[in-house]
Structure formats: C-alpha cells, structure tokens
Structure 1
Amino acid sequence: MSRTPQEEANLALVMGLFEHVLGPMDSARVDEFVAADYIQHSQLAPPGRDALKAFLDMIREQTPEAVHDVKRAFVDGDHVTVHYHVRRWPGDLGWAVIDIFRVEDGKIAEHWDVLQDVTEGGPNPNGPF
C-alpha cells in the first residue's frame, strides 16, 4: 500500500521532531513541529506545548546522554506511530516506547505514549524490538 503525499508529509514532520527535538532534547525547536494548542496524553508530562518544552529541558538536564533509537515508524492518515528504544545513560537497558502522534495543519496536534521496561532474561527469547 502506498502513502499519500499528506501521509509522507506527516511522517516527515514526526521524524523531524525526533531528529531535531527529541534526540537532542532541544526545546528551542518545539514550535517548528508542535501546534500551539498541542494536546498531551502522556502520563509522564503535563499538558501543553510550553510544558513540553520545560519537560524536555528537565530531561536533558537529568539525563544528558539519553538516546532515542527509532526502530520503525508507521503512518495512517493523520496519525504517525513510532516504536523506539530509549536509553537514559550508558549501560541502561531503557524502555521500549510507542508514541502516537496526530498531525493537523502541518503540526503535531496530539500525542499519546506507551512505555515498557526493557529487561534481560524472562520467558520470551524475542526482544521488544
């Protein structure tokens, strides 16, 4: 199945967010990607675009060596889903994360996330990625 030009643009927007904002934790570039009336559903962050900026600044201060390793991304209409591995510091097993973004008028309008600890061992030999 091929993507529409709008889906390609939505995917590029979200991947740009990862490259320029979430990877480097650069709150100064949030406005380029995120709508002014951004709706946050994450239970880890307060609502709103300004709160997202403050959250990114706090995370960058607490874990400056954090890595967001994107494994796959999917787009369906105005929704983009990204599956990635967050490691907060060297040696951290981190989290398997799925973010869901809704895009409207060329900006990220809404965000949901689901996180799971990455562990060693366990009953399933298949990793989360």
Structure 2
Amino acid sequence: MAYTPQEQHNLDLVQAMFDHVLIPMDADAADRFIAPDYIQHNQWVDTGLEPLKAFLRKVRGENPHAVHDIKRRFADGDHVIVHYHVRRFAGDPGFAVIDIFRVEGDMIVEHWDTVQDVPTDSPNPHSPF
C-alpha cells in the first residue's frame, strides 16, 4: 500500500509510541508522543495525558509481562489504525484490540479503541487475527 509522506510519518509515529510506551508500558515515555490535551474515547480511562499515564502504570503493575503483538497497521489521512493481540500472562488467550489514533503534527491527539476477548472455544475456524 502506498502512503503519502504524511501518512507514513503518522504510521511511524504510532509505531514508535507502541515501541516506547505501550509495549514496555512506560508511562513516562508517553510525553514524547501524546499531546497533553489528548482526547480519549476509551471508556476505562478519563480524557487527557495524565489519566492515560496513570492507567498505564496501573496496568503495568497488574500485568508486568503483558505482550502487545501487532498484526497490522493502516494509515488514512490523519488517522492510524492498529490491530493487535494483547496477552497479559503466559497462557492468556488475551484480547483482540483495534486502536484508532488521530495525529496532528508530531503528536497523537485523539484515540478510540475496541477490545474483544479472544474466545477459547468458537464455532468459527478463523482467528480474530
């Protein structure tokens, strides 16, 4: 897929945020990627950077060995979509997650997501990934 230079920049920014913030669950690194007045649509976290950082610290404390396995990424204008598999611990079937980020300049300014448990027993032979 051919992206515009801006879309490629946005993909690279979101990937760097995953590499430095979400995968290691490093709340302190979030300042480099996420705007202070970040708009959050996830219903588990209040809007803004500081509530996100508090959430990341809580999750890291509860699941220090969590894995975020990115399956695919897409860019469309100022939006980046990431589909990935979160596993909290060894043997965890985990969650299928789709994040949508909106980027302005060099910062992520808005986020939406949908999270689904990965079933251990399904009539569908196709993986959610």
Q: Give the shorter-chain TM-score range.
A: over 0.9
Give, in whole Å, the separation in 2 of the partners of 1:52 and 1:120. 30
Give, in whole Å, the separation in 1 of the partners of 2:57 and 2:33. 16
Q: Secondary structure at the match of 2:21?
A: helix
Give, in whole Å, the separation in 2 of the partners of 1:78 and 1:102. 6
Question: Shift of residue 106 of structure 1?
Answer: 1.2
Cα-to-partner distance string for 1:3-47 (whole Å, 9 max, x where unaligned): 111111000000011100000000111010001110000012121
Partner of 1:114: 114
Give, in whole Å, the separation in 1 of the partners of 2:122 and 2:58. 33
The aligned runs of 1:47-62 (5 Å cut-off) are 47-62=47-62
Question: Shift of residue 121 of structure 1?
Answer: 2.3
Q: Secondary structure at the match of 1:68?
A: strand
Give, in whole Å, the separation in 1 of the partners of 2:41 and 2:18. 18
Give, in whole Å, the separation in 1 of the partners of 2:124 and 2:75. 28
The aligned runs of 1:1-129 (5 Å cut-off) are 1-129=1-129
* TM-score for the superposition, normalised by structure 1: 0.97
Give, in whole Å, the separation in 1 of the partners of 2:127 and 2:69. 15
* TM-score for the superposition, normalised by structure 2: 0.97
Q: Secondary structure at the match of 1:61?
A: helix
**Runs of at least 5 residues in structure 2 that lack an aligned partner in the other structure:** none
* RMSD of aligned Cα (Å): 0.8
Question: Shift of residue 51 of structure 1?
Answer: 0.5
Q: Secondary structure at the match of 1:102?
A: strand
Give, in whole Å, the separation in 1 of the partners of 2:62 and 2:88. 9
Following superposition, which runs of at least 4 residues in structure 1 exceed 4 angstroms of deviation? none
Q: Secondary structure at the match of 1:21?
A: helix
Question: Shift of residue 124 of structure 1?
Answer: 0.4
